[in-house]
Amino acid sequence: MAYQSLRLEYLQIPPVSRAYTTACVLTTAAVLELITPFQLYFNPELIFKHFQIWRLITNFLFFGPVGFNFLFNMIFLYRYCRMLEEGSFRGRTADFVFMFLFGGFLMTLFGLFVSLVFLGQAFTIMLVYVWSRRNPYVRMNFFGLLNFQAPFLPWVLMGFSLLLGNSIIVDLLGIAVGHIYFFLEDVFPNQPGGIRILKTPSILKAVFDTPEDDPDYNPLPEERPGGFAWGEGQRLGG
């Protein structure tokens, strides 16, 4: 019975969020038993000179050994990836996949100039940034200590990283890429004389978009963006 409930809950996760989160968990499990991080990390020389192309993908899937940092990142990745897919990207799976590809491409490009070997955490910050800018009136509570509106969430997370002694380059990269996507997708097309630069290729629409929604689909409520005391939020006036 518990297995069936777990299986149904798992299948309720929208496809892109389910695939990415599962790939991250399985990669970590594989590192414990089968492979090492040295086979996964981002290394331009190994990618372009030795044709280890898989590193372009695997560096986004490994979040370090199982521990607080891994769980923290997985929770944020799952929550905000899922809420984006169920919220502003609802019924637009191809556009969501295109955002993944665009963000991954920019991070890989920037990764050539900074000393980062794994880009998954920066990718999570990008998702958080886009969600936060598209939900500006949601109020957040972080660890019961700070109350702020959603657009400040990426900066609060960067401050938290700083307190833990981590490099903020990862957070800044995620924020920068998230801002570029948000500006090109949500801001610039609505400016006088603005145009839509980012256009989802028709092949992605043909593969990922479906004409009808699943009537049995049960999305998470966006009124609970954090899901825990350190990321919980509510809409103003709600």
DSSP string spanning 109-154?
HHHTTS--S--HHHHHHHHHHHHHHH-TTEEEEETTTEEEEGGGHH
Domain assignment present for residue 220? The answer is no
Domain assignment present for residue 29? The answer is yes
Tell me: the pLDDT tens digits for 119-175?
999 999 999 999 999 999 999 887 777 888 999 999 999 998 888 777 889 999 999
Distances (CA, A) of 50 to 55, 56, 107, 146, 210: 11, 13, 21, 48, 39
Domain assignment present for residue 230? The answer is no
d(CA 23, CA 77): 12
pLDDT at 194: 82
3-state helix, strand, coil in the chain (%, to 5): 60, 5, 35
pLDDT at 14: 92
Structural domain containing residue 43: 11-208
Domain assignment present for residue 138? The answer is yes
Q: What is the mean pLDDT of residues 15-34?
A: 91
User: Looking at residue 190, which CATH number applies to its domain?
Assistant: 1.20.1540.10
d(CA 44, CA 53): 10
Q: Residue 182 contacts by C-beta under 8 Å, 6 or more apart in sequence? A: 129, 130, 133, 134
Q: Using alpha carbons only, how large is the chain's radius of gyration in Å? A: 18
d(CA 218, CA 195): 35
Surface-to-core class of residue 195, CB atoms within 10 Å of its CB (0-12 exposed, 13-18 middle, 19+ buried) = exposed
pLDDT at 211: 59
Is it the case that residue 236 has pLDDT exceeding 70?
no
Domain assignment present for residue 16? The answer is yes
Q: Residue 201: what are its φ and ψ, rounded to 5°?
A: -60, 145
Q: Which residues of 27-50 are buried (b: 16+ CB within 10 A; e: fewer)?
A: bbebbeeeeebeebbbbeeebeee
Domain assignment present for residue 132? The answer is yes
pLDDT at 228: 40
- What value, to the nearest 5°, has the Cα angle with vertex 154 and ends 228 and 66? 55
Mean pLDDT of the chain: 86
Domain assignment present for residue 91? The answer is yes
**Domain total of the chain:** 1
pLDDT band for position 78 (cuts 50, 70, 90): very high
Tell me: the pLDDT tens digits for 203-227?
999 998 875 555 555 555 554 444 4
pLDDT band for position 40 (cuts 50, 70, 90): very high
pLDDT at 238: 44
- 235 three-class SS: strand
Q: Tell me, what amino acid is at 202?
A: S
- Hunting for tokens 């990142």 — which residue is that? 73
Domain assignment present for residue 233? The answer is no
pLDDT at 213: 53
